[in-house]
């Protein structure tokens, strides 16, 4: 088993491969490490560049198509062998020289996750920095996981935490939240950040709406993943209670000889009563689904076309 696995997801980063590997070799020369490249459906010469420099420290995991960064990260973690795992972007904006300090902090102070914070971020102000600051603030408030920079890929984990993150879709933005759900102890340190030299960014303003959608999922999983009935049941019983009160009031009005048919209050009472029953039912179904989820065998969310540099971890 290696001491450290550096997992790098790449898509169309052909010009960044050689300088990135050289930077990693210089930064980690004192460590027993491996580099796991995961090619997430590149259409340029990225795979060719990696295969040209493969040695006993480099592994290329070629996915069958573009699955997205989260799934590619999961594939890299699955095919790594290190006691500790570092996640690194393939665009040369993260600096591998920060990894030794983060790894030492992980080992000496018994943290489970050491996350990077791009204090002097080299990105556009209006398209990247401001939307990122707003998103980070909302995520901190909603999840109660107080990390300054959720978007920094550079993180170092203990293996047992990384293996159980459950990455899929686009949940890589919420890795600290996923780790916290396991009870991980998380700290954050300032890291260097460089402007992109080669290639183009895969991010834009359009991702903001996806982040907000995923945030709803994260809040639910953080607070109610093991107790969904506490959410649906609470709202459901409250609606049922209001519906009963309204309908009892209307019943008294009806017994007093007044016409209640077609009144908005009657419609509201029925909606609350039926809606409450439905929410309670959803809560029961969600509880059953969660039990099935926790008891079922894990299935991979990706397919590997070929592995270069190693046939078996």
What Rg value do the Cα atoms of the chain yield, rounded? Answer: 25
Q: Which of 175-184, 233-242, 292-301 is least confident? A: 292-301
Regarding predicted confidence, which is higher, 143 or 52?
52
Mean pLDDT of 254-272: 87
Query: CA torsion angle for 89, 95, 99, 105 (degrees, to 10)?
Result: -110
Locus of tokens 């009472």: 269
- Res 5: pLDDT: 96
Looking at residue 53, the DSSP 8-state letter turns out to be T
Query: Sorting pLDDT into bands at 50, 70 and 90, what band is 49?
Result: very high
For the segment 179-193, what is each residue's pLDDT rounded down to a tens digit? 988 889 999 999 998
Query: CA torsion angle for 100, 193, 13, 103 (degrees, to 10)?
Result: 20
Locus of tokens 């990693």: 24
Give every CB contact of residue 188 below 8 A, 6+ residues apart in sequence.
Answer: 114, 115, 116, 117, 147, 148, 149
Return the structure tokens found at 312: 């078996």
Pick the CATH number of 4-224 from 3.40.50.720, 3.90.550.10, 1.20.1560.10, 3.40.190.10: 3.90.550.10
Give φ, ψ of 18 to 5 degrees. Answer: -60, -50
Say if residues 94 and 122 touch (Cβ distance below 8 Å).
no
10 Å Cβ neighbour count for 99? 26
- Res 214: pLDDT: 74
Determine the angle formed by the axes of helices 228-255 and 264-295, rounding to 10 degrees: 160
For the segment 85-134, what is each residue's pLDDT rounded down to a tens digit? 999 999 889 999 999 999 999 988 889 999 999 887 766 555 566 777 77
- Residue-range domain boundaries for the chain: 4-224, 228-295
Looking at residue 35, the DSSP 8-state letter turns out to be E
For the segment 22-48, what is each residue's pLDDT rounded down to a tens digit? 999 999 999 999 999 999 999 999 999
What is the distance between the alpha carbons of residues 102 and 152, in angstroms, rounded to a whole number?
Answer: 14
Regarding predicted confidence, which is higher, 160 or 295?
160
């Amino acid at each position: 088993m290696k001491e450290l696995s550096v997992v790098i997801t790449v898509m169309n980063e052909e010009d960044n491969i050689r300088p990135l590997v050289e930077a990693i070799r210089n930064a980690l020369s004192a460590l027993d490490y491996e580099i796991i490249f995961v090619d997430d459906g590149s259409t340029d010469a990225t795979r060719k560049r990696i295969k040209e420099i493969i040695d006993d420290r480099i592994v290329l995991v070629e996915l069958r198509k573009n699955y997205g960064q989260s799934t590619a990260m999961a594939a890299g973690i699955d095919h790594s062998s290190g006691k500790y795992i570092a996640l690194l972007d393939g665009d040369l904006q993260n600096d591998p020289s920060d990894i030794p300090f983060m790894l030492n902090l992980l080992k000496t102070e018994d943290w489970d996750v050491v996350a990077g914070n791009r204090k002097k971020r080299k990105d556009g102000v209006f398209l990247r920095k401001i939307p990122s600051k707003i998103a980070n603030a909302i995520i901190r408030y909603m999840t109660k996981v107080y990390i300054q920079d959720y978007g920094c890929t550079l993180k170092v984990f203990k293996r047992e935490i990384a293996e159980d993150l459950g990455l899929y879709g686009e949940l890589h933005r919420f890795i600290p939240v996923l780790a916290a759900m396991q009870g991980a102890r998380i700290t954050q340190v300032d890291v260097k950040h460089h402007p992109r030299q080669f290639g183009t960014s895969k991010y834009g303003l359009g991702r903001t709406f996806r982040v907000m959608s995923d945030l709803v999922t994260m809040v639910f999983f953080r607070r109610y993943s093991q107790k969904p009935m506490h959410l649906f049941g609470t709202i459901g019983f409250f609606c049922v209670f209001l519906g009963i009160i309204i309908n009892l009031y209307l019943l008294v009005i009806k017994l007093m000889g007044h016409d209640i048919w077609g009144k908005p209050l009657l419609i509201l009472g029925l909606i609350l009563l039926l809606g409450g029953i439905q929410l309670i039912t959803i809560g029961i179904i969600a509880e059953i689904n969660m039990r099935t989820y926790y008891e079922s065998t894990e299935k991979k969310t990706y397919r590997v076309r070929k592995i270069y540099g190693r046939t078996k971890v």
